[in-house]
């Protein structure tokens, strides 16, 4: 079999960097699928690209399609043969429709019935005859998230397509798109390469492109960026953050990366570093650099798309731009400092949170009241004053110039402005920490003040958004309620805050005038989130259901209960404990309320050893269970309950509960009811079955 290389280069104007990673993966998927469907064997498929070209390269592709044989099912034998055992009209029609001769018909059994099958054979075609269709299909199927037309409204791509190279070794594969026909002519780097360059053979492509100063492989460009960064780091004794997304983005903004070092005036380091970083990364796609002690240096690393005749020109140009931007940031910083956060509150009251929920300030006031109530309730009064102050100012930085310019530094600016206005460290930090954690794996609030405000803010968000009927559904969660619920739990668990969310949700509902129907949805939403989150931590479905049902109000205890289960689940006494609890439940579950009401314990009536035994076990263990419960020591509670297992199993073995003697029956039921009362301190054990 002769093997050839296939080159397909779609030449474009600059495609947005943010699409390229996606487009490469998408095109690779489509190309692999289509090649498989075409039965074209190949050794290696490479899909890559630069801002100006998307490239598909298949190495050692078979010159011919693989042969094809397939059995196609037809009518059952009873309809395929007539009384003489000859093919019926139906059978012959079937053969004709499949283009096969009688010799290629056979019977096969399917689920006990014999059917006529046609064996369809197709000889592999020349790959060259299939490639035009294959490449045209790629162009059609690669639909970017955002497309445009430039001539023909029916021809769309991320940016205009300007040339196409399609080669089968050295043969041209004819394909066209939007009036552009494929040819041998590619283009080099816009500045460092030739405006037009011929690719005589597919395999020459990579070498020619490299001479044309185009590094087609995006992975290689990324490596060039990181190795360039390393050299610069050595030179200045600093470290640039390896922000992988920023590296990817930079790699997709250039055809030939030239990392370079720049610097700015040290005075700008007085501005909070988050602002400097946002300016460098977001506006300019620069990499900020830190010194060995982690402090931001007055340097940055940029990536040029041109090895300019004098890189100092590029460097100083970039420095000018950054200087202008930092000058702006310094201006906002100075301007904001003249307006204390508290003076911004009237302005904040004009910023709408949600149409039916009033202003952002109104929300922060609800949060303030909720936090005050919570702290009074749990007796955490030592931080009440700081929380009150921080909650009042919590969202004020939203209307500062700096946050208007850089929304991502909300919270950071609140903290920095608060510090400089003489607010206490606790207040200032709380204004920042209320947003923690900001993303999966982010740090948690260090202070309780920020944690409490963040908690109350998210509770308010969940209730408020449900209140106006915007509960999340499917992939729709515009107010980020799922994330809010997740953060609530992470904070409670991470800081070990044993807070009753049932009460907190209830108070929030009062403040928002949310009715019972709304609250049912809120709590169902919350419990589902809690369940999911606990499952993600690796807890089993059954134990999680039990813990959520019993302890959702106190998520910290739900988690501790599960941790205790994990510890004891394999202990030899645990299974008997579950069994006992379930047996007790099974019997009591069948009784009516009236029967239960008449179940009374009269110790004198007990006759059997087993029942006396159970009573004394109950008397003994009740106190132990209570003590363990008071300390939320779930392992001790389980252990204490497990001490009943023996007595219960003896009871079931030796005693007939449903005795005809109603007095005795009630007495025995009462014993079991006491057992259940104790088991219920954990929850419904039957969920573990």
Partner 1 sequence: MNFQELIMSLESFWTGRGCVLQQPYGIEVGAGTMNPATTLRVIGPEPWNVAYVEPSRRPTDGRYGENPNRLQHYYQYQVILKPAPDDIQDQYLDSLRALGIDPADHDIRFVEDDWENPTTGAWGLGWEVWLDGMEITQFTYFQQMGGVDMDLVPGELTYGIERIAMYVQKVDNVYDLEWSGKVKYGDVHHRSEVEGSAYNFEIADVDMLFKLFGMYEAESARILERGMVLPAYDYVLKCSHAFNTLDARNAISVTERTGYIGRVRALASACCKAYLKQREDMGFPLMGKFDGPCRAESPDSSLRGEGHGGDAL
Applying CB under 8 A, the residues found at the interface with partner 1 are 13-14, 16-18, 51, 146, 148-151, 153, 159-160, 162, 190-192, 195, 253-254, 258, 284, 302, 304-306, 308-310, 313-314, 316-318, 320-324, 327-328, 331, 350-352, 355, 404-405
To the nearest whole angstrom, how small is the minimum distance from the Cβ of residue 319 to partner 1? 8
In sequence order, the 6+-apart residues with CB closer than 8 A to the CB of 60 are 3, 4, 5, 42, 43, 44
To the nearest whole angstrom, how small is the minimum distance from the Cβ of residue 325 to partner 1? 9
In Å, how far are 73, 213, 369, 451 from 399, measured between CA atoms?
71, 47, 22, 23
Pick the closer one to partner 1 by CB: 51 or 447. Answer: 51
To the nearest whole angstrom, how small is the minimum distance from the Cβ of residue 302 to partner 1? 7
Torsion angle of the four alpha carbons 551, 554, 558, 563, in this order, in degrees rounded to the nearest 10: -140
Structure-token match 């309620």, residue found: 481
Let me know if 324 is exposed, middle or buried by CB neighbors in 10 A (0-12, 13-18, 19+).
Answer: exposed
Pick the closer one to partner 1 by CB: 224 or 322. Answer: 322
Pick the closer one to partner 1 by CB: 160 or 183. Answer: 160
Q: In what order do the strands lie in the sheet with 296-304?
A: 239-240, 287-290, 296-304, 258-263
To the nearest whole angstrom, how small is the minimum distance from the Cβ of residue 63 to partner 1? 35
Instruction: Measure the CA–CA gap between 497 and 135, rounded to whole angstroms.
Output: 60
Pick the closer one to partner 1 by CB: 136 or 192. Answer: 192
Pick the closer one to partner 1 by CB: 313 or 658. Answer: 313
To the nearest whole angstrom, how small is the minimum distance from the Cβ of residue 368 to partner 1? 23
The answer to whether 618 and 641 have CB atoms below 8 angstroms apart is: no
- What share of residues in the chain are helix, strand, coil (percent, to 5)? 55, 15, 30
Pick the closer one to partner 1 by CB: 79 or 306. Answer: 306
Pick the closer one to partner 1 by CB: 406 or 525. Answer: 406
Instruction: Measure the CA–CA gap between 262 and 240, rounded to whole angstroms.
Output: 12
The answer to whether 356 and 512 have CB atoms below 8 angstroms apart is: no
To the nearest whole angstrom, how small is the minimum distance from the Cβ of residue 198 to partner 1? 19
Pick the closer one to partner 1 by CB: 349 or 477. Answer: 349
Residue 69 gets which letter from DSSP? E
CA angle (564 as vertex; 558, 565 as ends), nearest 5: 90
CA angle (82 as vertex; 79, 86 as ends), nearest 5: 115
In sequence order, the 6+-apart residues with CB closer than 8 A to the CB of 92 are 102
In sequence order, the 6+-apart residues with CB closer than 8 A to the CB of 529 are 482, 485, 486, 489
* Of 177, 214, 217, 212, residue with least CA distance to 194: 212
Alpha helix (H) residue ranges in 434-515:
448-467, 481-495, 501-512
Pick the closer one to partner 1 by CB: 226 or 306. Answer: 306
To the nearest whole angstrom, how small is the minimum distance from the Cβ of residue 14 to partner 1? 4
Pick the closer one to partner 1 by CB: 326 or 669. Answer: 326
To the nearest whole angstrom, how small is the minimum distance from the Cβ of residue 296 to partner 1? 19
In sequence order, the 6+-apart residues with CB closer than 8 A to the CB of 53 are 9, 10, 11, 12, 186, 214, 216
Query: Bridge partners of 181?
Result: 176
Pick the closer one to partner 1 by CB: 229 or 534. Answer: 229
To the nearest whole angstrom, how small is the minimum distance from the Cβ of residue 328 to partner 1? 7
Instruction: Measure the CA–CA gap between 150 and 167, rounded to whole angstroms.
Output: 26
To the nearest whole angstrom, how small is the minimum distance from the Cβ of residue 128 to partner 1? 30
To the nearest whole angstrom, how small is the minimum distance from the Cβ of residue 387 to partner 1? 29
Per-residue tokens: 275 = 């602002």
Pick the closer one to partner 1 by CB: 165 or 558. Answer: 165
Structure-token match 């002519």, residue found: 185
Burial of 425-440, coded b for 16+ CB within 10 Å and e otherwise, reads ebbbbbbbbbbbbeee
Pick the closer one to partner 1 by CB: 109 or 355. Answer: 355
To the nearest whole angstrom, how small is the minimum distance from the Cβ of residue 160 to partner 1? 7
Torsion sign (Cα): 96, 100, 101, 105: negative
To the nearest whole angstrom, how small is the minimum distance from the Cβ of residue 402 to partner 1? 10
To the nearest whole angstrom, how small is the minimum distance from the Cβ of residue 23 to partner 1? 13
Pick the closer one to partner 1 by CB: 398 or 673. Answer: 398
Peptide linkage before 437 cis (omega within 30 of 0):
yes
In sequence order, the 6+-apart residues with CB closer than 8 A to the CB of 584 are 648, 672, 675, 676, 679
């Amino acid at each position: 079999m002769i093997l050839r290389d296939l080159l397909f280069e779609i030449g474009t104007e600059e495609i947005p960097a943010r699409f390229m990673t996606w487009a490469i993966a998408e095109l690779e998927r489509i190309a692999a699928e289509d090649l498989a469907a075409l039965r074209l064997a190949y050794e290696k498929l490479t899909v890559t690209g630069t801002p100006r070209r998307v490239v598909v390269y298949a190495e050692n592709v078979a010159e011919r399609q693989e042969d094809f044989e397939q059995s196609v099912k037809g009518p059952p034998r009873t309809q395929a043969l007539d009384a003489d055992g000859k093919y019926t009209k139906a059978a012959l029609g079937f053969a004709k429709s499949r283009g096969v001769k009688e010799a290629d018909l056979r019977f096969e059994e399917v689920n006990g019935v014999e059917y006529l099958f046609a064996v369809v054979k197709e000889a592999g075609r020349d790959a060259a005859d299939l490639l035009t269709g294959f490449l045209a299909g790629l162009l059609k199927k690669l639909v970017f998230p955002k497309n445009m037309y430039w001539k023909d409204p029916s021809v769309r791509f991320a940016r205009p397509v300007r040339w196409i190279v399609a080669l089968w070794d050295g043969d041209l594969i004819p394909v066209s798109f939007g009036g552009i026909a494929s040819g041998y002519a590619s283009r080099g780097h816009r500045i460092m390469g030739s405006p037009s360059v011929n690719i005589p053979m597919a395999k020459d492509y990579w070498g020619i492109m490299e001479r044309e100063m185009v590094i087609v492989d995006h992975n290689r460009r990324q490596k060039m960026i990181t190795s360039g960064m390393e050299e610069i780091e050595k030179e200045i004794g600093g470290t640039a953050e390896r922000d992988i997304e920023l590296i990817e983005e930079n790699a997709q903004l250039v055809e030939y990366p030239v990392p370079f070092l720049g610097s700015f005036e040290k005075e700008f380091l007085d501005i909070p570093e988050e602002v400097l970083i946002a300016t460098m990364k977001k506006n300019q796609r620069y990499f900020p650099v830190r010194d060995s002690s982690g402090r931001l240096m007055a340097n940055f690393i940029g990536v040029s798309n041109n090895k300019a005749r004098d890189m100092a020109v590029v460097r100083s140009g970039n420095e000018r731009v950054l200087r202008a931007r930092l000058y702006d940031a310094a201006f906002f910083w100075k301007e904001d400092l003249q307006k204390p956060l508290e003076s911004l509150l009237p302005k904040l009251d004009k910023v709408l949170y949600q149409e039916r929920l009033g202003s952002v300030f109104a929300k922060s006031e609800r949060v303030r009241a909720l936090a005050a109530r919570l702290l009074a309730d749990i007796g955490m009064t030592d931080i009440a004053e700081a929380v009150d102050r921080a909650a009042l100012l919590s969202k004020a930085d939203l209307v500062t110039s700096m946050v208007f310019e850089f929304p991502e530094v909300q919270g950071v600016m609140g903290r920095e402005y608060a510090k400089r206005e003489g607010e206490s460290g606790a207040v200032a930090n709380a204004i920042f920490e209320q947003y923690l954690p900001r993303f999966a794996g982010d740090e948690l609030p260090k202070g309780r003040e920020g944690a409490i405000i963040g908690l109350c803010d998210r509770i308010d968000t969940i209730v408020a958004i449900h209140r106006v009927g915007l509960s999340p559904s499917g992939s729709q969660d515009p107010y980020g309620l799922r994330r809010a619920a997740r953060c609530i739990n992470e904070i409670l668990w991470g800081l070990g805050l044993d807070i009753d969310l049932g009460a907190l949700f209830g108070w929030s509902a009062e403040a928002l005038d949310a009715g019972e129907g709304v609250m049912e949805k809120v709590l169902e939403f919350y419990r589902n989130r809690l369940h999911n989150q606990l499952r993600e931590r690796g807890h089993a479905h059954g134990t999680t259901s039990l813990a959520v049902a019993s302890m959702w109000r106190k998520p910290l205890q739900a988690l501790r209960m599960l941790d205790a289960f994990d510890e004891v689940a394999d202990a030899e006494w645990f299974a008997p404990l579950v069994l006992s609890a379930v047996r007790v439940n099974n019997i009591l579950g069948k009784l009516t309320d009236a029967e239960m009401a008449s179940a009374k314990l009269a110790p004198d009536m007990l006759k059997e050893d087993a029942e006396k035994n159970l009573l004394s076990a109950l008397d003994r263990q009740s106190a132990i269970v209570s003590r363990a419960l008071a300390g939320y020591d779930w392992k001790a509670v389980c252990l204490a309950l497990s001490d009943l297992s023996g007595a219960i199993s003896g009871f079931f073995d030796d005693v007939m509960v449903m005795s005809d003697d109603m007095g005795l029956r009630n007495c025995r039921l009462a014993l079991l009811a006491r057992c259940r009362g104790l088991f219920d301190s954990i929850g419904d054990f039957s969920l573990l079955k």
